[in-house]
A = this chain, B = another copy of it.
Amino acid sequence: MKLSKIASILGCDFQGKDIEIVGMNTLKDAEENEVSFVSNTKYVKDIESTNAAAVILSENLADKLSVDCVALFTKNPYWSMAILSKYFAPPIEDDTLPSPVIGTNCSISAKAEIANGAVIGKNCTIMAHAYVGAEAIIGDNTIIYPSVTIYRDCVVGEECIIHANTVVGSDGFGFATNKKGEHKKIYQNGNVVIENDVEIGSNVSIDRAVFGSTMVKKGTRIDNLVQIGHNCEIGEYSVLVSQVGLAGSSKLGRNVVMGGQAATAGHLEIAPFSKFAARSGITNTIKVPGKTYAGFPLMDHRAWLKLQAKLARLIK
């Protein structure tokens, strides 16, 4: 889409070269043919160094922008970004894509649906009522149980097992809100990448990224009814017990273990080999690896035990 068209969609003036824009991205990750945005003061520092062709921002940030980069001034850049995201959303399915490619020795149920553009590896089992979306890729020897839904563009590695009724790639929970309290959807144009040797339980939800990929790394084990928000990153060999919830953009190091119903707030990092007791509530980044925590607010596991002992004494 031409930059002039984007300016027209957002109702803003446009000055500069009218290049072709192929997508949207964060300031940090945007390439020369992408448009970006600033809606959070936290990211103002990234304006100067962005490679984006154009940036949607409020007028008061004008002087931060490099001369090569086109400014698209709007009153509510986050809302503008939401409006624009719809134009870059691919169709849910696409009949013009080639028929799916199925590897040798697969068992694909006649009652499964494999969309055009999908690629299935060798020796895969794809059971009844499973759905594999457009341009999704499934690696060799992977088992997809009944009623699993893999959305378009998502990638599942080799030797994976995904249990029944799990969803990979549903839209992240993203929207802008205006002063009237109305919401505008931010189309989630990223995907989910699940590496090799991952087992995922039943009724799990893993959301696709708004930009880039939600990542589940090699060897991870995910139990039933777990929520993984958009743009999360789960380190290798991590273990997420049933009903765990990860808010968007949580980054877990390798071999992190989270007990049942434990949860994270968004946009934080957890050091490798951290362990969390059931129902831990993690609201801050954890930098030191290998420790054990409990409680909400989160504390060292021993401190939590001590606190509970103190509280028990309170009522005696």
Which residues of A does B touch, CB under 8 Å?
92-93, 107, 109, 111, 113, 125, 127-129, 131, 143, 145-147, 149, 151, 161, 163-167, 170-171, 173, 175, 177, 181-183, 185, 199, 201-205, 207, 219, 221, 223-225, 227, 229, 237, 239, 241-243, 245, 247, 254-255, 260-261, 263, 265, 273, 278-279, 281, 296-297, 299, 303, 306-308, 310-312, 314-315
Q: Is the CB of B167 within 8 A of A203?
A: yes
| Cα separation A273 to B311 with both chains bound (whole Å) | 27
Oligomeric state, in copies? 3
Q: Is the CB of B170 within 8 A of A145?
A: yes
**A281: nearest chain-B partner, CB-CB:** B279
Inter-chain contacts of A146 with B (CB < 8 A): 113, 131, 149
15 contacts between A and B (CB under 8 A): A113-B146, A131-B147, A145-B170, A149-B165, A164-B167, A182-B219, A183-B239, A203-B204, A203-B225, A229-B242, A241-B247, A261-B261, A263-B279, A307-B315, A310-B315
| Cα separation A227 to B216 with both chains bound (whole Å) | 22
Q: A170-B202, A243-B245 are in contact. List 5 more A-B contacts (CB 8 A).
A: A92-B127, A111-B111, A149-B165, A203-B203, A241-B247
Q: For the complex formed, measure the closest distance between the CB of A90 and the CB atoms of chain B, giving whole angstroms.
A: 14
| Cα separation A177 to B151 with both chains bound (whole Å) | 31
Per a CB cutoff under 8 Å, which of B207, B247, B308, B312 touches A260? B247
Q: Is the CB of B223 within 8 A of A225?
A: no
Q: For the complex formed, measure the closest distance between the CB of A47 and the CB atoms of chain B, giving whole angstroms.
A: 29
Q: Is the CB of B260 within 8 A of A242?
A: no
Inter-chain contacts of A170 with B (CB < 8 A): 145, 163-164, 201-202, 224
Q: 8 tightest CB-CB pairs across the interface, nearest first?
A: A205-B224, A149-B164, A113-B128, A170-B202, A167-B202, A131-B146, A163-B170, A227-B242
| Cα separation A261 to B242 with both chains bound (whole Å) | 12
**A129: nearest chain-B partner, CB-CB:** B129
Q: For the complex formed, measure the closest distance between the CB of A314 and the CB atoms of chain B, giving whole angstroms.
A: 5
Q: Is the CB of B281 within 8 A of A281?
A: no
**A111: nearest chain-B partner, CB-CB:** B113
Inter-chain contacts of A310 with B (CB < 8 A): 314-315
Inter-chain contacts of A149 with B (CB < 8 A): 129, 145-147, 164-165, 202
- Given A163-B167, A225-B227, A237-B182: A307 and B314 interface contact (C-beta under 8 Å): yes
